[in-house]
Amino acid sequence: MNWQSFPNFSATEFQCKHTGKLRMDDMFMARLQALRTDYGKPMVISSGYRDATHPIEAKKVEPGAHSTGHACDVAVRGGDAIELIALAVKHGFTGIGVQQKGSGRFIHLDDLSHSQGHLRPWVWSY
């Protein structure tokens, strides 16, 4: 992957925090960069790629979107979270998870399709 195509992001912020592996999908990253350009503000990535052995993924019956390189979590709160969600819909993100309570507030973004066996579009809260 050519990270120079995504000037607002670095490979290190998307690496699996458990294994250090990095397998982000090019099309997902292009969609995320377009969202970031439109958003016009820094986006702090709190979780990017997660290897299937990552403790969060390992607890699941089947590893989720993070393990396919089609998801990230963005640390954001309040009005910025609402703006990010609206722009995510505009840019074709199909999975939007909202965690807006406590200290670890974030928005999950993914671009999985209904044809991949996931109910999409979908919005949920944690």
Show the domains of the chain with their CATH numbers: 25-125 (3.30.1380.10)
Beta-carbon contacts of residue 10 (< 8 Å; ≥ 6 apart): 3
Helix 26-39 and helix 78-90, axial crossing angle in degrees, nearest 10: 130
At 40-86, the pLDDT tens digits run 999 999 999 999 999 888 888 888 899 999 999 999 999 999 999 99
Structural tokens at position 27:
């099309």
pLDDT at position 94 over 90:
yes
Q: Name the pLDDT band for 119 (thresholds 50, 70, 90).
A: confident
| Residue 48 near residue 66, CB atoms below 8 Å | yes
Say how far apart CA 20 and CA 40 lie, in whole Å.
29
Structural tokens at position 42:
């820094």
Percentage of the chain modeled with pLDDT above 70: 99
